[in-house]
Amino acid sequence: MRAGITGTGHYVPEKVLTNFDLEKMVDTTDEWIRTRTGIEERRIAEDDMDTSEMAYRAAVNAMEDAGITAKDLDMIMVATVTPDTPFPSVACMLQDRLGANKVAAMDLSAACSGFMYGMVTAKQFIDTGVYKNILIVGVEKLSKITDWTDRNTSVLFGDGAGAAVIGEVSDDRGILSFELGADGSGGKYLYQDKDYLSMNGREVFKFAVRQMPESSVNVVEKAGYQREDVDYLIPHQANIRIMEAAREKLGIPEEKMATSVKKYGNTSAASIPIALSEGVKNGKIKEDDLVVLVGFGGGLTWGAVAFKYGR
Ligand SMILES: CC(C)(COP(=O)(O)OP(=O)(O)OC[C@H]1O[C@@H](n2cnc3c(N)ncnc32)[C@H](O)[C@@H]1OP(=O)(O)O)[C@@H](O)C(=O)NCCC(=O)NCCS
């Protein structure tokens, strides 16, 4: 047996904020946003829908897909930088809301790489046989830490949640390799300053176009495959130009890469699990496909996982 994904799910708020809406809010244009980032629109949660509510909806969806109930869970992890409150954690709120047993529950802070950190942590508990089913949710309500008067950041982000259940799968499938890393000296490039998110876009861009391609190749090689063997690539959905750098390094065609950044913008820790859940539901990810997930974010942090999909 090997640790792998046994279910996926996601939730995005209904309210759509388009680039044209943003033209009326800050000094920007649809053309600038599309050509620099690939983003066309993003989802914004209503005031009464906080992070834990989006997490709950994605979690229910993932558990249904895995064919388990809350009573089957052994641990809950939530990756987020926008919890309802600093504590109790979103994971504890979720445990209560789901009616899970009194299992371990914690939030995990690795910004946009959070889901990668969560998946790799979950893998350790499954591999050692300690736990059977771990729920991991990547969720953000970035709209509450966005300065809606700042054109440098307000055009980039959105709200949403993605979730996965990590459990035992057959040993020819599941998580084959991973890489996690951090460089705290780059913390100054992306951080929350009092109420709002603050960013040096150019520095983050330079870091990301170097790190995402490198980590993608590393996990494919560690898994014992060739770059072109990758069936589907899910890079952190931050900016299409950064994502393209990873795709080109692997040498795979456009249709083998998730591009939900167009409709959701950058949803930080939620971006990879949302794209993963959509990829499974729309049939882009099939049984036995070699899938690479790769993320980067504030910290600075990064992480990648290569797995064979299926149970
Ligand atoms: C932010 C980002 C899209 C900017 O793209 P870019 O190609 O670096 O942009 P440039 O440096 O060529 O242009 C910046 C100029 O556009 C302007 N600009 C910034 N945001 C703008 C907007 N929304 N609309 C119009 N102009 C904008 C800037 O003020 C600057 O103007 P100046 O040259 O007169 O000072 C890009 O740097 C990026 O994606 N960085 C990574 C961000 C990221 O992924 N963050 C999340 C990490 S998890």
Task: Report the distance separating Cα 308 and Cα 244, nearest Å.
Answer: 22
User: What pLDDT does residue 85 have?
Assistant: 97
Q: Which two tokens stand for residue 74?
A: 């052994």
Of 10, 112, 133, 239, catalytic:
112
User: What pLDDT does residue 302 have?
Assistant: 98
- Tell me the mean pLDDT in the region 40-65: 98
pLDDT digits (tens, 9 = 90+) for 293-304: 999 999 999 999
- Of 36, 39, 237, the residue with max ligand 1 atoms within 8 A of its CB, to mutate for a pocket test, comes to 36
pLDDT digits (tens, 9 = 90+) for 1-51: 999 999 999 999 999 999 999 999 999 999 999 999 999 999 999 999 999
Q: State yes or no: cis peptide before 88, omega within 30 of 0.
A: yes
What amino acid occupies position 10? Answer: H
pTM: 0.97
- Tell me the mean pLDDT in the region 79-103: 97
Phi (first) and psi of residue 164, to 5 degrees: -145, 150
User: What pLDDT does residue 51 have?
Assistant: 98
User: What pLDDT does residue 25 have?
Assistant: 97
pLDDT digits (tens, 9 = 90+) for 159-168: 999 999 999 9
User: What pLDDT does residue 147 have?
Assistant: 97
pLDDT digits (tens, 9 = 90+) for 273-299: 999 999 999 999 999 999 999 999 999
For residue 145, name the pLDDT band (cuts at 50, 70, 90). very high
What amino acid occupies position 287? Answer: E
Which residue in 100, 29, 72 sits closest to 168, CA to CA? Answer: 72
User: What pLDDT does residue 183 have?
Assistant: 98
User: What pLDDT does residue 295 have?
Assistant: 97
What amino acid occupies position 93? Answer: M
With b meaning 16 or more CB within 10 Å and e meaning fewer, what string describes 65-78?
Answer: bbebebebbbbbbb
For residue 231, name the pLDDT band (cuts at 50, 70, 90). very high
Expressed in angstroms and rounded, the spacing between residue 201 Cα and the centre of ligand 1 is: 6
- The percentage of the chain sitting over the pLDDT mark of 70, rounded to a whole number, equals 100
Query: Contact 98/70 with Cβ under 8 angstroms?
Result: yes
Query: Contact 45/141 with Cβ under 8 angstroms?
Result: yes
Expressed in angstroms and rounded, the spacing between residue 199 Cα and the centre of ligand 1 is: 10
User: What pLDDT does residue 77 have?
Assistant: 98
pLDDT digits (tens, 9 = 90+) for 232-264: 999 999 999 999 999 999 999 999 999 999 999
- The percentage of the chain sitting over the pLDDT mark of 90, rounded to a whole number, equals 99
Q: Is 191 in the pocket of ligand 1 (CB under 6 A)?
A: no
Query: Contact 260/284 with Cβ under 8 angstroms?
Result: no
Expressed in angstroms and rounded, the spacing between residue 212 Cα and the centre of ligand 1 is: 19
Give the atom of ligand 1 at the shortest distance from the alpha carbon of 241.
39
